[in-house]
Amino acid sequence: MRYRIWKRIGRGAPIVGAFLLLGLVAVYDHGNVVTPRTAAAQTVAAPATRLAAAATTQRPAASKPRIGGTLTFGIVKDIGTPIPFVAYTSTSQYVKDNVYEPLVMFDHKGDIHPWLAESWAPNANSTEWTFKIRRGVKFHDGKELTANDVVWSAKHIMDPANGAAGQGQLSSNVRDVVAVDKHTVKFILPGPRGLLPELFADTAILHVEQEMQAKEKVPSLHAVARMWEIQPKQVYTVYGVKESTIKEKPAALQAFVKAVMEATRIMYSDKAKVLPIMVKHTGYPEKIVSETYNFLVKSCIWDANSGLSPERVNFTANLMTKVGNIEKGKAPNYDQIVDKEFATKAIKDLGEWKGPVCPTAAF
C-alpha cells in the first residue's frame, strides 16, 4: 500500500519533549572513558565473527568455547541492513557489535588494546602505520582472517561509490592501504597521524544529551563526528499515514501538522517555555537539557517549515536503495510519497518561518 509522508523533516526531531532523542553524535575521549563507535571505526573492522554461544541449558566452560549454534537476540525493530559500513541506527549497532570487530579496542579506561591486530607501530614521522594481524581468527565460514581482508575493508570504505558512512573521515586520514604479507597491513597516510590507532578503535554512538552528561563527568570527552554533518541531506524523522487515513481524518492530520510546526518554532523562540517540558519528558537534569537545547538550536537541527524538500526525500530513497533497504528499481519518487497539501496549508496559516533563528525554505 502506498504511503504519503506528512512530516517535518528536521535534521533531528521535531517534537518538543522528544527532541533530545534524535541528535546523534559520535564522541571520543583522549584517555578516560570507553569511546563510542564512529562510522569510520568500522572502516578497518574486518568482519570476523565474535563466537557467541547461545546457552540453552548452561553456559559452556570458559576454556571450551562452543563454535556454532544459534544466538537469539531481541530488538525492537529490524536492523535494516547487516552491511557494517553504511550509516546505521542504534538498533542495528546492537547486532553489529556482536558480529563485526575492530583492529584495536578501547578498554573501560579509554586505553588502546589489541583486538584483531596484535601489534602496531608508526614510522619515524607517523606517516605510515604497520599493523600485525592476529593469527587464527576465523570468519563464520571457517576462512582465516588475513591482511587482504583488512585491505579490502578499508578500500571499500574509502571508495565514495560505496556510500560508506566513514568514507570522508578515513579518506582524509589514509591515502592507501597495502598488504605487506599475509598478516601485516601498512596504512600510508597523507601526513603525520599520531592518533591513527584511536581512529580505528571500537566506538559507539551517543545522543547529544548523553554527550553533554558524559562531559560533566569527563571534560576531555569530545565529538569526532555528528550524523547530521556526515549526511546532512538524509531524512531522519518521518511520519507516514495510509491513504485511507488522509481521506478519513484530514482535519486531524491538518491540526497535527500545524501543531508540530508551531512547536518547532516555539523551540527556536521561547526556551523558557519549552525547557520545563523537555526536562519533564526526558528525565535529564535541567542543566544537561539546557546545554543540549543550546547546542541543537545553534546547529539549526530542526526545519521550522515543512522539511519536505525533494532533495532530502530523493537522497534518502537513493541511499536506502544503495544499502539494500529498498530493492533496486523499486525506490518511490518524491511525488509518490509526499503529500504537500497539509504542510502548504499550515505554512499559509502560520506564515513562512524566516527566523531570525535558523531560517529554512518552505519546501
251 vs 361 pLDDT, higher one:
251
pLDDT of residue 82 exceeding 90, the answer is: no
Q: How far is CA 12 from the centre of its chain?
A: 12
Q: What domains, with CATH codes, occur in the chain? A: 3-24+227-350 (3.40.190.10), 37-56+73-204 (3.90.76.10)
The residue type of 103 is L
Local confidence band at 204 (pLDDT 50, 70, 90 cut-offs): low
Residue 116's nearest CA partner among 136, 97, 130, 98 is: 136
Residue 254's nearest CA partner among 162, 330, 342, 352 is: 342
pLDDT of residue 188 exceeding 80, the answer is: yes
pLDDT digits (tens, 9 = 90+) for 245-268: 999 999 999 999 999 999 999 999
* pLDDT confidence of residue 127: 94
Local confidence band at 83 (pLDDT 50, 70, 90 cut-offs): confident
Query: Mean pLDDT, the chain, as a whole number?
Result: 76
Of the candidate ranges 19-23, 160-164, 304-308, the one whose mean pLDDT is the lowest: 19-23
For the whole model, what pTM was predicted?
Answer: 0.53
Of the candidate ranges 47-51, 83-87, 99-103, 162-166, the one whose mean pLDDT is the lowest: 47-51
d(CA 50, CA 97): 9
3-state SS track over 47-74: CCCCCCCCCCCCCCCCCCCCCCCCCCCC
* pLDDT confidence of residue 224: 67
Local confidence band at 202 (pLDDT 50, 70, 90 cut-offs): low
pLDDT digits (tens, 9 = 90+) for 29-73: 333 333 333 333 333 433 332 222 233 334 445 567 777 788 777
pLDDT of residue 124 exceeding 90, the answer is: yes
* pLDDT confidence of residue 79: 75
